[in-house]
Structure 1
Amino acid sequence: MQSANIPEVRLGIVAVSRDCFPIALSTQRRQNIAAACKAKGLELYECPVTVENENDMKKAVADLRAAGCNALTVFLGNFGPETPETLLAKYFHGPCMFVAAAEGDGDLINGRGDAYCGMLNCSYNLGMRHLKAYIPEYPVGTAEELADKMAEFVPVARAILGVRGLKIITFGPRPQDFFACNAPIKGLYELGVEVEENSELDLLVSYRKHANDPRIPEVCADMAAEMGEGKYYPDLLARMAQFELTLLDWAEEHKGSRKYVAFADKCWPAFPEEFGFEPCYVNSRLAARGIPVACEVDIYGALSEYIGLCVSGDAVTLLDINNSVPGYIYKEDIAGKFNYSLTDTFMGFHCGNTPSCKMCADRAVKYQLIQHRLLEPEGSEPDFTRGTLEGDIAPSDITFYRLQCDSEGVLRAYIAQGEVLPVATRSFGGIGVFAIPEMGRFYRHVLIQKRYPHHGAVAFAHCGKALFEVFKYLGVQDIAYNQPKALPYPTENPFA
């Protein structure tokens, strides 16, 4: 996805060298990594300064800044100088990764670098200085191996940069009896995220000012082309286009000092009657262009979506962990065809905020059945409750995840990989049959036990590895995942 709402990572590499080791070990090994990155198609800026002391460190930081780098690999080509190499993480303005050279490209007398040892002291010094850094699971390797690790660092760096430059714009308080959709914003400020909270009236006033906006016909045409004839309400397009332009203009005018924006908007019960439609389809369109719009003023849902967007580089969505799969559907369409138990499956649902590109071909703009029951006269044709994007979500690998601040103000997260099955849901809304190994146990001992809300963010790829590293870098101490049966949860009853 090419989106102006996520950072473009400009990765640099700087080699460090302890002055009692040959500097050529680090310099040549850095050049080998640069060549390996080029061969793999990874764009990289190679800093010409090899850092042996603090003055070198200052020169390297200045050079990297002048080159436009916003993410950095610090490479221990030999044991490395502990103070200047870790001060790079302090004075460089973006996320830093630390890796070390494996031996094998020379003799083990004059050509041994001892970087395996140096990485230990590097980590120790980072800790003493309370500096954050990304260190891969195994941070030592050949040039080709380290090039692969640097490629894995890019989406992590993109998410870190995105969070640092993010403003979440909200409209309205959370709906009554949906307390879980909001949470203390203390955790957002700890992460460096800005929040702008507004009234629904602010949004309504801005929406009315966009009436007769000359751009509306162009947006209407784009909506019609996206959905296809017979898949939308022609009389509704102008209203929805007016709202889309309202949100886009608000984002641009209210970024302030920030580069990136996500929304968390109140969408019921007052919204449809006052605006004349449900906002779901518009929300889906913004998500498809890299601007997440979380339903029900779910601020941490918006943050989670944005992180997944940065990590996957693709559109994401926010869904209710909604209902169990009926036994008859499991027997007809899953049992014997897929290696999942009934409790491994569930249905993820929302009214219609999932981008159309992630849905099956029969998706269409429809009306919100539950809101129609609640807000419009019984037996009447749907009017202002129209505007959802409904249909089954297309089969895909997925990662279900969330970053949340709990009621005590503590940040915690969960990650679970799985898939959307090619199984018809026989239901309404934007919905899919999801399968995650050991979901039943995960549901009980993570989602319920740790009091997570019903919303989960969905990335349409297996990106748990990168998400885990992002959450670690952000300082999240509790990162839960769907543990295998051989690894019981602390609260799991061993006698059950």
Structure 2
Amino acid sequence: MNHMPKEKIGIVAVSRDCFPMTLSETRRKAVVKAYQEKYGEIYECPVCVENEIHMRQALADIRAAECNALVVYLGNFGPESSETLLIKEFEGPAMVVAAAEETGDNLIQGRGDAYCGMLNASYNLKLRNLKAYIPEYPVGTAEECADMIHEFCSIARAVIGLRNLKIISFGPRPQDFLACNAPIKQLYNLGVEIEENSELDLFEAFKNHAGDERIPQVVAEMEQELGAGNKKPEILTKLAQYELTLTDWVEGHKGSREFTAIAGKCWPAFQTQFGFVPCYVNSRLTKRGIPVSCEVDIYGALSEFIGTVISQDAVTLLDINNSVPADMYEKEIKGKYEYTLKDTFMGFHCGNTPSDKLSFCEMKYQLIMARSLPEEVTQGTLEGDIAPGNITFYRLQSTSDAKIRAYIAQGEVLPVATRSFGSIGVFAIPEMGRFYRHVLIEKNYPHHGAVAFGHFGKTLYEVFKYLGVPVEEIDFNQPKGMLYPAENPFA
């Protein structure tokens, strides 16, 4: 996937001056060997940090090696000040992991006490107001530490991406879509830049792309992608013109940032002025690693970007839209899958889901808009049932008073025909009914949720923690018997 951050991990071993430095060095080499055999590249810093002078030497070395993510490895107890100062001065995403003792036959000169050293490291991080990823159980063998470092890669990639992200938006949120209102204060807290534009600016740029010599090539790409689903060939030239408008805008406006996401306007005046709807183009950019949200949903675009970076795959943004009819549940779900009716719902948007995430796709018109507008100006949706498989429904959101919170719920798209329109699927999430009431409604989340195709809850949870979301504000679909704070225990 293009337009995505890449992490280069550097590992630095640390050693307490009253412990043998060779213990940390030997254990570091074993971790590097295990990682390289199983996962590939990792940079091994030759400097073992015992004091602040060593810390600066190690820092210079990993910077020279162009590492953008750091693993501090406690091969023994470790020097708590030097190791945390390394994290502070490195400034990029960092994790701390510690060595388990190796054998009961060598617990005198070969005992490292890193189990204890991890406690001191975490305490010193807190004293200095520093963030570092500490795995669920951060003490392990060389092979176990290699696995933990591999899990850190996705977390590091997301943090690197956000610190180099600009969200480009067009227009204010549509009337009666205050749910997508987005105080931007938390974007800056996360290290994200934002450029807010008028849709009039976008319309001018679109008009200036009329007759662009690249349009026929983009049309040909669209025709190839759509295949037999190309039901509206007459609209492709305009869609190609719009796609070039957005991609040129991104290149011309990303400034000092490497990565971009777009919060786009798509109604109410878009259709009548541009002459189409942008859904298909949104799906194509999202597929290439430039997520595009609908209805100027800035935090939706942010959430999509995080999921794209973590999954290294396309995502989508859907309305948590409608219940599954009881007769449909009885006929096609009950007895075949271990879900109640309240565990199911339909996720829908007009036509913004990438083609490779649909079981089938066709270029159509936007039925809801066509109820009040001429059909010809509502063409441009990519419609089809979302492909069955595991999903993670999630969102990172600022509240109206600029507090940050998030939710994560793992489930699946069922192989059940929706019999409906748009980009749509039958979703099943365990205990969705309770999650819907006591998280989505109770905590005033908007109707848009990001969807990653796979189970990525563990990584998303760690990313949100690393970004500073309070753990009490990271909600998930709690299992039966585990009550939400506002849930009636007598219900």
Task: Give the % identical residues.
Answer: 68
Distance, in Å, in 1 between the alignment partners of 2:348 and 2:194 is: 27
Residue 351 of structure 1: aligned partner: 350
Distance, in Å, in 2 between the alignment partners of 1:252 and 1:37 is: 37
Letter of the 1:12 counterpart: G
Q: Structure 2: give runs of 5+ residues left out of the alignment.
A: none
Deviations 1:340-362, CA, capped at 9 Å, x for gaps: 0000000000001100000012x
Residues 1:425 and 2:398 are matched in the alignment: no
Residues 1:408 and 2:401 are matched in the alignment: yes
**Equivalent residue of 2:395, what SS?**
strand
- Counterpart among 4, 7, 14 of residue 6 in structure 1: 4
Task: Specify whether residues 230 and 411 from structure 1 end up closer, same or farther in structure 2 by C-alpha distance, changes over 3 A only.
Answer: closer
Q: Contact 2:166–2:260 at 8 Å: present in 1 too?
A: yes
Deviations 1:429-467, CA, capped at 9 Å, x for gaps: 100000000000000000000000000000001000000
The structural deviation recorded for 1:407 is: 1.1
More displaced stretch, 100-109 vs 451-460: 100-109
Residues 1:268 and 2:267 are matched in the alignment: yes
Residue 489 of structure 2: aligned partner: 494
Distance, in Å, in 1 between the alignment partners of 2:84 and 2:138 is: 15
Deviations 1:206-250, CA, capped at 9 Å, x for gaps: 001111111100000000000103523111111000000110010
Residue 379 of structure 1: aligned partner: none
Residue 392 of structure 1: aligned partner: 385
Residue 476 of structure 2: aligned partner: 481
Letter of the 1:489 counterpart: Y
**Equivalent residue of 1:20, what SS?**
coil
Residue 330 of structure 2: aligned partner: 331
Letter of the 1:484 counterpart: P
Deviations 1:242-276, CA, capped at 9 Å, x for gaps: 00011001001101111110000110011111111
**Equivalent residue of 1:120, what SS?**
helix
Distance, in Å, in 2 between the alignment partners of 1:166 and 1:158 is: 12
Distance, in Å, in 2 between the alignment partners of 1:59 and 1:436 is: 50
Residues 1:150 and 2:125 are matched in the alignment: no
Please tell me the root mean square deviation across aligned C-alpha atoms, in Å. Answer: 0.8
Distance, in Å, in 1 between the alignment partners of 2:136 and 2:240 is: 47
The structural deviation recorded for 1:17 is: 0.2
Distance, in Å, in 1 between the alignment partners of 2:265 and 2:221 is: 25
The structural deviation recorded for 1:45 is: 0.3
Residue 319 of structure 1: aligned partner: 318
Residues 1:455 and 2:448 are matched in the alignment: yes
**Equivalent residue of 1:268, what SS?**
coil
The count of residues paired between Structure 1 and Structure 2 equals 488
Distance, in Å, in 2 between the alignment partners of 1:480 and 1:389 is: 32
Q: Contact 1:166–1:259 at 8 Å: present in 2 too?
A: yes
**Equivalent residue of 1:325, what SS?**
coil
Residue 134 of structure 1: aligned partner: 133
**Equivalent residue of 1:206, what SS?**
helix
Task: Specify whether residues 400 and 230 from structure 1 end up closer, same or farther in structure 2 by C-alpha distance, changes over 3 A only.
Answer: closer
Calculate the TM-score normalised by the size of structure 2.
Answer: 0.99
Deviations 1:264-309, CA, capped at 9 Å, x for gaps: 0110011111111110000000000010000000000000000001
Residue 192 of structure 1: aligned partner: 191
Distance, in Å, in 2 between the alignment partners of 1:485 and 1:286 is: 39
Letter of the 2:384 counterpart: G
The structural deviation recorded for 1:42 is: 2.8
Q: Contact 1:224–1:232 at 8 Å: present in 2 too?
A: no
Residue 34 of structure 2: aligned partner: 36
Q: Contact 1:42–1:151 at 8 Å: present in 2 too?
A: no
Q: Which runs of 4+ in 1 moved over 2 A?
A: 229-232
**Equivalent residue of 1:458, what SS?**
strand
Mapping of 1:17-416 within 5 angstroms?
Answer: 17-105=15-103, 107-361=106-360, 363-376=361-374, 382-416=375-409
Distance, in Å, in 1 between the alignment partners of 2:327 and 2:383 is: 23
Letter of the 2:210 counterpart: A
Distance, in Å, in 1 between the alignment partners of 2:164 and 2:137 is: 29
Q: Contact 1:262–1:303 at 8 Å: present in 2 too?
A: yes
**Equivalent residue of 2:228, what SS?**
coil
Distance, in Å, in 1 between the alignment partners of 2:348 and 2:130 is: 40
Q: Structure 1: give runs of 5+ residues left out of the alignment.
A: 377-381
Calculate the TM-score normalised by the size of structure 1.
Answer: 0.98
The structural deviation recorded for 1:138 is: 0.5
Distance, in Å, in 1 between the alignment partners of 2:22 and 2:229 is: 68
Deviations 1:96-117, CA, capped at 9 Å, x for gaps: 0000000015600010000000
Letter of the 1:326 counterpart: P
Q: Contact 2:229–2:363 at 8 Å: present in 1 too?
A: no
